[in-house]
């Protein structure tokens, strides 16, 4: 009985740790020294085909509440890879900013790599293998 209880507690702890780790996975943006992208946030919107990602400059680990404002904000973008255009979805200093209402209607600006850099290029190159999600 005690053996089962220990296994249950360890399983719950492992799941909680795995959930926390999966929430943010900051990786270096290809070809950039101080820019990171959140691999776990990277996804494609099934309604529009836009790729949504967030990038930040500073240290490569979260959580958001541990990301000092002095390191710069976390920036959220939507990418129209086929047209090489991007949409600025805002900045986030605390981690509680989600996608705004009507975010798909934001102005599209040219040159993804010029704005989002290596992370944007990587997102577009791997877009077919990204999770496809019904975003609000």
Pairing of strands 35-38, 26-28: antiparallel
| 54-70 residue pLDDT tens | 998 875 555 455 555 56
Low-confidence ranges of the chain (pLDDT < 50): 1, 3-22, 63
**Which CATH number do you get for residue 37?**
2.40.128.710
Number of Cβ within 10 Å of residue 51's Cβ equals: 23
- Residue 2 located in a structural domain: no
- For 10, the enclosing helix (H) or strand (E) is helix 2-23
pTM: 0.75
d(CA 54, CA 40): 10
Q: What is 93-124 written as a DSSP string?
A: SSS---PPTTGGGSPPEE-HHHHHHHHHHHHH
- Residue 7 located in a structural domain: no
Total number of domains in the chain: 1
What domain range is 71 assigned to? 24-133
Secondary structure of residue 36 in the 3-state scheme: strand
pLDDT score of 56: 85
């Amino acid at each position: 009985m005690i053996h089962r209880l220990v296994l249950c507690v360890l399983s719950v702890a492992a799941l909680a740790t795995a959930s926390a780790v999966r929430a943010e996975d900051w990786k270096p943006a290809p070809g950039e020294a101080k820019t990171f992208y959140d691999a776990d946030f990277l996804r494609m919107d099934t309604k529009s085909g836009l790729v949504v990602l967030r990038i930040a400059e500073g240290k490569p680990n979260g959580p958001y509440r541990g990301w000092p404002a002095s390191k710069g904000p976390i920036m959220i973008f939507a990418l129209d890879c086929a047209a090489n255009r991007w949409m600025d979805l805002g900045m986030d200093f605390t981690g509680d900013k989600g996608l705004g209402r009507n975010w798909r209607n934001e102005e599209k600006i040219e040159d993804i790599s010029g704005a989002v850099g290596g992370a944007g290029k990587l997102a577009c190159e791997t877009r077919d293998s990204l999770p496809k999600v019904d975003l609000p």
